[in-house]
Structure 1
């Protein structure tokens, strides 16, 4: 069977793939988008039932389509977000083929382009865009052995408290996912232990503006690299229940027991680092620093925004913070399950080209990889802090499409030059 010829092959039809398709179409570049499941499938099947987007609908969208059934300051559910991308793909006429898994991509030998093996035959592509996003392979640290007899699931497999066995729950990870999962399980009547690591804790809103707006006007979304030492620091923010500032002291008041970063497991006992107070203090410092910067911006620009002095009032420290647990006998505490909200690693095993460093990380400049003709889209910090967010990936896709267009123009010039006879004037 002969290969299907395509100029640009985009792998993945999540937010990155749909954005890429729009910008390629605007430039008249022929392409196909291959998706092994459905459009925006991870929003549907790798999120818990009650999840809503962490940004309001006025912000977490593409420029070409609004969430028309939502007020601007509200938060869309995971199904509504997935439906949004389906509608967007239909609006722009994106050439998406669902149910097609890309098995491998290899550079052609002796000719330009790439040989792409898929579950629906072979493709020959001049350019390949890996638009599979940052949430590829869930990470569960090898801490608790299976023989311990405790249910262990990743937050991407968690759906609701009803899927967990009766008993207390340890949630490991205090970014947006871990905090929201822990709160939901606690509200269901379970005892919850929440393992809190390093995190940033922005206000959900301040002085009448959402934190997404503040990060925008303060230039924080456009930061090109994470602060030194904060490469793996998560953001604890929530759009749940209409949106609210994450407050670990409030979670403790509601009955959640805060513990430090999970370190080790031995003979039924989980041990935690002695860093809980430090992690909470650093999160508080980040929160207060953002308030300071917001106040300075308001004063500098003469904005008439309401005062909010109560935002600086921190609740009293709970017992679990002043006298933190260093270890927990899981059976003695009735813990029967662990939810690991510990993030993801990238899996590019299918992309068998020279585009990675010795640690398997993509080598690229704003998505243009070290392998000519291969591009990445949707990576964390691809060009800025906002790169892996909905609006950020749209702007990165525009840049990648520009780079492909530039390369096409060079190739077109080369082909035209080849038609001119040697020595012709």
Structure 2
């Protein structure tokens, strides 16, 4: 069995791994990036067919390279995003090895800190960067038994309306993924039910600027911790159809039935919490608050941006919000498919190290773990709100590369061999 020694081993070649490679290279740290599939694989095979980036091309990229064929204010298709990271890896000559699965990382008894068991042999490294991102294991709530005869998939496995059985569809979860999938299904002619939980609902554009620009100048991307009671609040935003503000009332006006959060399943009937109105109100409050902050910023800094008073006009609540449905018999209402857009959990079982809390979450400070030489990158709120996004992960990688480089003198670093 082959054994290779390297100073720093990066696990994962998505946006986090590519960013980490760039900054390690700038710091002169020898490293290898291992990827079990292809570069940015999740963008290609773990997303639905019509997905585009949720941020405009000027924002959803790294500083060192623009999209050559996507306008600055346009939203890049998912395959183009994947190609961007492949091109970027070539641009920086990243030492990425694809098709290599990391099976276990353990403490090394002597020499470099870690012994890494992979499908391509053994590696020894002083530093490990876990750059596998936030979308690791789909969360699939065990509410409706699989024996009930209703097709159930996670949004991770959804591709297009044609893959689903004929009939109505229930989408559970109204973040970016659930909302866009429900909208696509509605446009395809399906009858759609959408279970809406607590969410933030920013304007796509306001006063001529995309919401990602406003989050930047207002310092919201740089928030260090989420506001109280918002740790599990999703964001409802879309780059589809050229980018538009998500409006649940308009979705209902077009024929979608909105529901509260799914609670339980009894004798063929799903029960929903009586919280739909509160959840819609929370989204409205977040939306209007961002408009207020943007107006104040424009006033304070004397920005010559067109005013947009109509942005504050909210439609009347549809019947499904004012008189919510609290139970839904799936068979009687023709529901043949359920899509669970309910997020992801971590999977670090390959890290055989004391780096996690009782719930399996990494214990770290800005990505620096409590295990010397182990680092995390690409996780939500790693250092700020932007950490799991393309722009944010690039900056977090710069910080971690500095930490790795500063911890060892150049003559102590392991050279590739």
Normalised to the residue count of structure 2, the TM-score between the two structures is: 0.98
Residues 349-377 of structure 1 deviation map (CA, whole Å, 9 limit, x = unaligned): 00111111121110111011000000000
- Match for residue 49 of structure 1? 49
- Match for residue 234 of structure 1? 234
Q: Secondary structure at the match of 2:264?
A: strand
- Match for residue 417 of structure 1? none
Contact map agreement 2:105 2:350 (CA 8 A) in 1: yes
Gaps of 5+ in 2: none
User: Matched residues in 2 for 1:82 and 1:129: separation?
Assistant: 21
Q: Secondary structure at the match of 2:408?
A: helix
Q: Secondary structure at the match of 1:97?
A: strand
Contact map agreement 2:193 2:259 (CA 8 A) in 1: yes
User: Matched residues in 1 for 2:234 and 2:158: separation?
Assistant: 19
5 Å-filtered alignment, 1:11-410, equals: 11-409=11-409
Contact map agreement 2:12 2:131 (CA 8 A) in 1: yes
User: Matched residues in 2 for 1:112 and 1:67: separation?
Assistant: 39
Question: 1:320: Cα distance to partner?
Answer: 0.5
Contact map agreement 2:24 2:31 (CA 8 A) in 1: yes
User: Matched residues in 1 for 2:385 and 2:56: separation?
Assistant: 18
User: Matched residues in 2 for 1:214 and 1:26: separation?
Assistant: 31
User: Matched residues in 2 for 1:109 and 1:143: separation?
Assistant: 46
User: Matched residues in 1 for 2:152 and 2:218: separation?
Assistant: 40
Asked which structure has the greater RCO (Cα within 8 Å, sep 6+), the reply is 2
Question: 1:411: Cα distance to partner?
Answer: 7.9
Moved over 4 A (4+): none
Question: 1:405: Cα distance to partner?
Answer: 0.4
Question: 1:112: Cα distance to partner?
Answer: 3.6
User: Matched residues in 2 for 1:43 and 1:291: separation?
Assistant: 31
Q: Secondary structure at the match of 1:156?
A: helix
User: Matched residues in 2 for 1:71 and 1:401: separation?
Assistant: 31
Q: Secondary structure at the match of 1:152?
A: strand
User: Matched residues in 2 for 1:358 and 1:5: separation?
Assistant: 32
User: Matched residues in 1 for 2:99 and 2:110: separation?
Assistant: 31
Question: 1:221: Cα distance to partner?
Answer: 0.1
Q: Secondary structure at the match of 1:180?
A: helix
Residues 50-103 of structure 1 deviation map (CA, whole Å, 9 limit, x = unaligned): 000000000010000001211111000000000000000000000111000000
Question: 1:2: Cα distance to partner?
Answer: 4.3
Normalised to the residue count of structure 1, the TM-score between the two structures is: 0.96
Gaps of 5+ in 1: 414-425
Question: 1:408: Cα distance to partner?
Answer: 1.4
Q: Secondary structure at the match of 2:156?
A: coil
